A and B are shown apart, each in its own frame.
Chain A
């Protein structure tokens, strides 16, 4: 069966491989399509932070002395931050571990698609789901719990960069942690525990003025604390600054830490990302 027409591709050098950015966009479209075809996942992942907001903000309603806000209002930005982290960190950490276990990733690794296109696709996915999630929480917050939308453009601008930086940083951290679980079965416990702990020490469930300083300082190493703080700055009146550890919203520091997590997270992903599970050495 040996034929004379043996192919020689080496004769055609510098073949153009498709670019990572364009492939990332296409992967993003595909990821979003896949996500919405799994209806149970869609409903539950969107409902989770909304249900928590409803529970916390309805149970704790008292005014916080000297701040001009009540507990319900404090929970709105807190749950938005938590929602951003759950759509990015938690959902990616678990779903990528499952994709790795089911060998979807191994197949991708055998193609010429660059890993950065895969990461970009995941970030498009979480940007999309994160916007939808945040919009729902904002709708609930403004209609049920007296949170006012910002009136000046600069606050909306702050909201935009806090959202994008926070989401991207958490997404990259999620991609990185997906390499930790040994199998799909252990993925949700490995990812949920640190997320839960972070929510307690970053001021999501418990107001930051009641959390011990040493815990807050640990929380301050991770993006969630800064995401919460930035969103409080956007959605709460300035009178509520007194609750903060530093007594101010510290937007500059928020930007710095979140941006650092985007860069550090990307480096971490590129260093640790594996197409295969650990058993295949």
Chain B
């Protein structure tokens, strides 16, 4: 058998949380395996952040079982916190200190930190290392947040919408960082609204809507399972655009080829993207 005392880095069963009359989390089950990148997707207010905050040990729960790195986060110890890195959604670091001072100082909290200079380089802040935090842009601050999340060399990294406010180049750089950490064996839980981000990074995804997990699996499988129908679109001779949803698009195209005797005007064959699947599952299809 394996040497690990637990197979799942994060094991959540039947999690419930209410705020007054509002049920934010309504029976969520999640199993995040050690060493995987897990994406938690869902619209605002779906219960993603509440779930992650409970996993962080920063929020109480009203029901269900939660085990993170083998312990209940409600009773978190210093040793447990040294193994979990957190990047919150809205963060604030001491504005009067420089990036280097802050990263070096946070490294002191951990038993086995990463090299602060290396971490500053990893997040691409080496040019800003001696700038005061208050002088950083929003995206740069976010990168500092990530630096402080990984400085302790965590086994489990919890990222709550880490790339909100990043420009596209910074986002790609961040993805490389996540892949690097994942390659080193760090277990990563990531919440995001960006589907392409989830698709690019996550080994597995869960889609959350109204406090429940509505779909879970590998990104390609999710797309396949929930969207086998393709859409064939073409333009009739009278100028009207027609569409047909079908499981056999090749046959439809062949029939059209015969009918038009050659080129089909305005032909398009599309498979549902993860976004289509996501919008359908979260009941936001009309938003398109």
Interface residues of A (CB under 8 A from B): 1-3, 5-11, 15-18, 23, 26, 30, 33-34, 37-38, 102-104, 106-107, 109-114, 276, 280-281
Q: Which residues of B contact A17 (CB under 8 A)?
A: 78-79, 82, 111
Q: Is B249 in contact with chain A by the CB < 8 A criterion?
A: no
Q: Chain B residue with minimal CB distance to A13?
A: B79
Q: Chain B residue with minimal CB distance to A7?
A: B185
Q: Which residues of B contact A23 (CB under 8 A)?
A: 108-109
A16 CA to B112 CA in the complex, in Å? 9
B70-123 contacts to A, CB under 8 A, are: 70, 78-79, 81-84, 86, 88, 90-94, 96-97, 101, 105-106, 108-112
Q: Which residues of B contact A37 (CB under 8 A)?
A: 96-97, 132
Q: Is B183 in contact with chain A by the CB < 8 A criterion?
A: yes
CB distance from A161 to the nearest CB of B (A): 31
A-B contact pairs, 14 of them (CB 8 A): A1-B179, A2-B36, A7-B35, A9-B83, A10-B4, A33-B96, A103-B92, A109-B58, A110-B56, A110-B58, A112-B152, A276-B58, A281-B59, A281-B60
Q: Is B182 in contact with chain A by the CB < 8 A criterion?
A: yes
Interface of A, secondary structure class, is loop
Q: Which residues of A contact B91 (CB under 8 A)?
A: 103, 107
The answer to whether A112 touches B82, judged by C-beta atoms less than 8 angstroms apart, is yes
The answer to whether A1 touches B182, judged by C-beta atoms less than 8 angstroms apart, is yes
* Contact-size category for B: 35 or more
Q: Which residues of A contact B141 (CB under 8 A)?
A: none
Choice from B57, B79, B96, B186 contacting A7 with Cβ under 8 Å: B186
The answer to whether B182 touches A6, judged by C-beta atoms less than 8 angstroms apart, is no
The answer to whether B94 touches A10, judged by C-beta atoms less than 8 angstroms apart, is no
A280 CA to B57 CA in the complex, in Å? 12
The answer to whether B108 touches A3, judged by C-beta atoms less than 8 angstroms apart, is no
The answer to whether B78 touches A114, judged by C-beta atoms less than 8 angstroms apart, is yes
A102 CA to B93 CA in the complex, in Å? 9
A281 CA to B79 CA in the complex, in Å? 23
The answer to whether B185 touches A112, judged by C-beta atoms less than 8 angstroms apart, is no
A10 CA to B9 CA in the complex, in Å? 12
Q: Which residues of A contact B108 (CB under 8 A)?
A: 18, 23, 26
Q: Is B184 in contact with chain A by the CB < 8 A criterion?
A: yes
Q: Which residues of A contact B101 (CB under 8 A)?
A: 30, 33
A276 CA to B182 CA in the complex, in Å? 30
Interface residues of B (CB under 8 A from A): 3-5, 33-37, 53, 56-60, 70, 78-79, 81-84, 86, 88, 90-94, 96-97, 101, 105-106, 108-112, 132, 148, 152, 155, 179, 182-187, 203
Q: Which residues of A contact B152 (CB under 8 A)?
A: 111-112
The answer to whether A1 touches B111, judged by C-beta atoms less than 8 angstroms apart, is no
The answer to whether A1 touches B37, judged by C-beta atoms less than 8 angstroms apart, is yes
Choice from B3, B78, B112, B185 contacting A3 with Cβ under 8 Å: B185
CB distance from A115 to the nearest CB of B (A): 10
The answer to whether A104 touches B93, judged by C-beta atoms less than 8 angstroms apart, is yes
Q: Which residues of B contact A2 (CB under 8 A)?
A: 33, 35-36, 203
Q: Which residues of B contact A281 (CB under 8 A)?
A: 59-60
Give the residue among B81, B152, B184 with the most A Cβ atoms within 10 A. Answer: B81
Q: Which residues of A contact B184 (CB under 8 A)?
A: 5, 7
The answer to whether A111 touches B88, judged by C-beta atoms less than 8 angstroms apart, is no
Choice from A7, A38, A110, A276 contacting B81 with Cβ under 8 Å: A110
CB distance from A238 to the nearest CB of B (A): 47
* Interface contacts beyond A2-B33, A3-B183, A103-B88: sample of 7 additional A-B pairs, CB < 8 Å, sorted by A: A3-B35, A5-B185, A6-B185, A7-B34, A30-B101, A37-B132, A114-B78
The answer to whether A6 touches B59, judged by C-beta atoms less than 8 angstroms apart, is no
Q: Which residues of A contact B105 (CB under 8 A)?
A: 26, 30
Q: Chain A residue with minimal CB distance to B149?
A: A110
Q: Which residues of A contact B110 (CB under 8 A)?
A: 18, 111-112
The answer to whether A34 touches B79, judged by C-beta atoms less than 8 angstroms apart, is no
Report if A110-B86 is in contact (Cβ < 8 Å); known contacts: A6-B35, A10-B70, A15-B112: yes
The answer to whether B88 touches A10, judged by C-beta atoms less than 8 angstroms apart, is no
Q: Which residues of B contact A16 (CB under 8 A)?
A: 111
Report if A106-B59 is in contact (Cβ < 8 Å); known contacts: A3-B182, A113-B109: no
CB distance from B177 to the nearest CB of A (A): 14
Choice from B3, B58, B183, B186 contacting A106 with Cβ under 8 Å: B58
A9 CA to B4 CA in the complex, in Å? 10
A17 CA to B112 CA in the complex, in Å? 9
Choice from B36, B57, B109 contacting A18 with Cβ under 8 Å: B109
Top 9 closest A-B pairs, CB basis? A6-B35, A112-B82, A37-B96, A112-B78, A5-B185, A15-B111, A110-B86, A112-B81, A113-B109
Choice from A34, A38, A102 contacting B92 with Cβ under 8 Å: A102
CB distance from B133 to the nearest CB of A (A): 11
CB distance from A11 to the nearest CB of B (A): 7
CB distance from B185 to the nearest CB of A (A): 4
